[in-house]
A and B are shown apart, each in its own frame.
Chain A
Amino acid sequence: MIEVKNISKAFGEKQVLKDVSCLFERGKTNLIIGASGSGKSVLIKCIVGLHEVDKGEILYDNRDFKSMDIVKRREIRRELGMLFQASALFDSLTVEQNVMFPLIMYSGMSKSEMLDRVNFCLKRVNLVNANHLYPAELSGGMQKRVGIARAIALNPKYLFCDEPNSGLDPQTSILIDNLIQEITHEYDITTIVVTHDMNSVMEIGEKIFFIYKGELWWKGDKNSILETDNKEIGEFVYASHIMKLLKSKH
C-alpha cells in the first residue's frame, strides 16, 4: 500500500501539484489518469522520489519516504520496479543483460540462478528467443515487455508504470495492460499506472484517480467513471468519437 498525503509540487512559479492525497491499494491496479500536462507524470515521479515534493507525505506501507535519507531511500527503491514511458532499457545491454542487471546488483544469486530467473521473467511476459537481441532490435511492444520483465526480476512490492501504452497499437496495448494486471494479482503487489488511454481505464481500472490541473479531482473505478456527472471527467472520458458514440447509444 502506498499513501500520499497532501503533496504539492511547483517548478519555479508554476504549481504543478496542489495538495494531492491518494491511497493506492495493494493487489490492485491503481490508475492515475488525466489530460496531458495535468500533473500525473509529476505525481508518479514524486512518489518514486525522482522529484522532491515541496510539502506532504509519501508512505510506503507506513514508511515515510520523504523524510528518509538517500541510503534508506535506495533500500525502498530496491523493493520497487518501474516501467518507463520509453521503456528506458539500457541500449548497450542485450535483453538478457537488461533483465539480469538488477539481479547482478542486488540478488546475490549465482550466474545460473540469475539466468533461470531471467528466463522465467521473460517467459512470464511472453518473450522468448529474444535473450541476445539489443533494445534497438525490438519492437515497441517487445521493449515494454522487457521493461516489465526487468521491473519484476527482483520480485518488487510496488510496480510503477508511466504511460505503458504510449506508442503501441491497440491490440498490443491491451496485451500490456492485461499483463500488468495479471502480475499485480499474481504477486499481490501495489501497482500504479499513469495513463491517459481510455482503453486502459476500461480494461484495468480497478481504482482510478483523476488529476485535473494538478488537483485530485475525482476517484472511483472503471464502472463509476462512466456514470459520474462530473463535467471535467465527462470531457476527458468522452473526448473520442467512439466514446461519444457509445454514450449516445446508452
Chain B
Amino acid sequence: MNIVFHFGRYFIMMYRVFSKPEKFGIYRENTFKEMISLGIGSMGIVAIISLFMGAVITIQTASNIDSPWIPSYTVGFTTRQSVILEFSPTIIALILAGKIGSNIASEIGTMRVTEQIDALEIMGINSASYLTLPKIIAALFINPFIIIYSMFLGMFGGWIVAVSTGIVTSNQYIYGLQYDFKPFDITYALIKTVVFAFVITSIPAYHGYYTRGGALEVGRSSTRAVVYSSIAILVVNYLLTQLLLI
C-alpha cells in the first residue's frame, strides 16, 4: 500500500513538473546553472573513478588470462566492452546517484522545511516544476557527455596501467580497443545514461519535495533518495539490458 502511495504521488508530482513553465527564460537560465552544478561539478570524481576503474579492469583481465591461445589484445577488448557496456553508464550513475541525488534531496528538502517552497507556491509558482524541471533537463543533457568522458578515461586508465606495467603492449591494447567494435554498444550505453539521468534527478527531487519536519528529516530524505535511486538504477539497468541486448 505504501509503495502504491509513493508511486502515485511520484507520478502526480512528475505531471506537475512537466506542466507548462511560468517563464521559459528563468527555467532556461536555471537549467544552465544546473548543468554547471551537476555536470562540471561531477567531472573530478568521475575522472578519478573512471581512471582507476579502467586500470583495475585491465589488470584483472590480464591476470585471468592464463591460456596462450587467448590473444593479448583481449585485455583491451574486454576493458572496452566492460567500460562501455556497464561500468561507465551504470557505476558512474550509481556514484552520481550518491553525489547529485543527496545534493538534490537535501537542497529541496531544506527549502521545504524552511517554508521556501511554500513561499514559491504563495507567489503562484509551480514549485515542483520550478525546482525540479531544470535539474532533470540539465542531467538529461549533460550526463551523456559525462559518460562519454568516463568511457574515454576508463579506457585511458587501462592503457596507462597496461603500458606502465607491461601487461600488454600499447599496440595490442589499442588493437583490442578497436577490435569488433559495434557502434550500437555506445547507443545502448547512452540510452541507459539518459534513463538513469532521469532516475537520479527525479527520485531525489521527489524525496526532497515531500520532506516533513526538520533537519533530521532532511538527512533521512537524502539517505532515502540515494537508496531508492540506486535500487531504481539497478532495476532499470536490468530491464533495459533485457530489452535492448537480447
A interface residues with partner B (beta carbon < 8 Å): 48-50, 73-78, 80-82, 84-86, 88-91, 101-102, 104-106, 160
Contact = CB atoms under 8 A, between A and B. Distances in A.
Given A104-B26, A105-B23, A88 B118 contact: yes
A78 B119 contact: no
Given A82-B119, A88-B119, A75 B114 contact: no
Contacts of B121: 49-50, 77
A77 B22 CA distance: 13
Interface string B114-126: 1110110111111
Contacts of B118: 50, 82, 84, 88
- Which of A48, A105, A160 has the most C-beta atoms of chain B within 10 angstroms of its own C-beta? A105
Contacts of B116: 88-91
Given A104-B23, A104-B26, A105-B23, A77 B124 contact: yes
Contacts of A50: 118, 121-122
Contacts of A74: 124-126
Contact of B26 (A49, A81, A105): A105
A73 B123 CA distance: 10
24 contacts: A49-B121, A50-B121, A74-B124, A74-B126, A75-B124, A77-B124, A78-B123, A78-B124, A80-B122, A82-B119, A84-B118, A85-B115, A88-B114, A88-B116, A88-B118, A90-B116, A91-B110, A91-B114, A101-B123, A104-B26, A105-B23, A105-B26, A106-B124, A160-B122
Interface string B192-227: 000000000000000000000000000000000000
Contacts of A77: 121-124
A82 B122 contact: yes
A232 B210 CA distance: 37
A88 B123 CA distance: 12
A106 B114 CA distance: 24
Interface in B86-130: 110-111, 114-116, 118-119, 121-126
Contacts of A105: 22-23, 26, 123, 125
A83 to B, nearest CB: 10
A233 B1 CA distance: 45
Nearest to A154: B123
A88 B115 contact: yes
A104 B130 CA distance: 14
A88 B118 CA distance: 8
Contacts of B110: 91
Contacts of A73: 124
Contacts of A80: 122
Nearest to A78: B124
Contacts of B111: 90
A75 B123 CA distance: 9
A90 B123 CA distance: 13
Contacts of A104: 23, 26
Given A77-B124, A82-B119, A91-B116, 13 more contacts: A48-B122, A49-B121, A50-B122, A75-B124, A77-B121, A78-B124, A81-B122, A84-B118, A88-B114, A90-B119, A91-B114, A105-B125, A106-B123
A28 B96 CA distance: 53
A238 B123 CA distance: 37
Contacts of B119: 82, 84, 88, 90
A27 to B, nearest CB: 21
B108 to A, nearest CB: 12
Contacts of A101: 123
A76 B125 CA distance: 11
A160 B119 CA distance: 11
A80 B126 CA distance: 15
Contacts of A48: 122
A102 B22 CA distance: 11
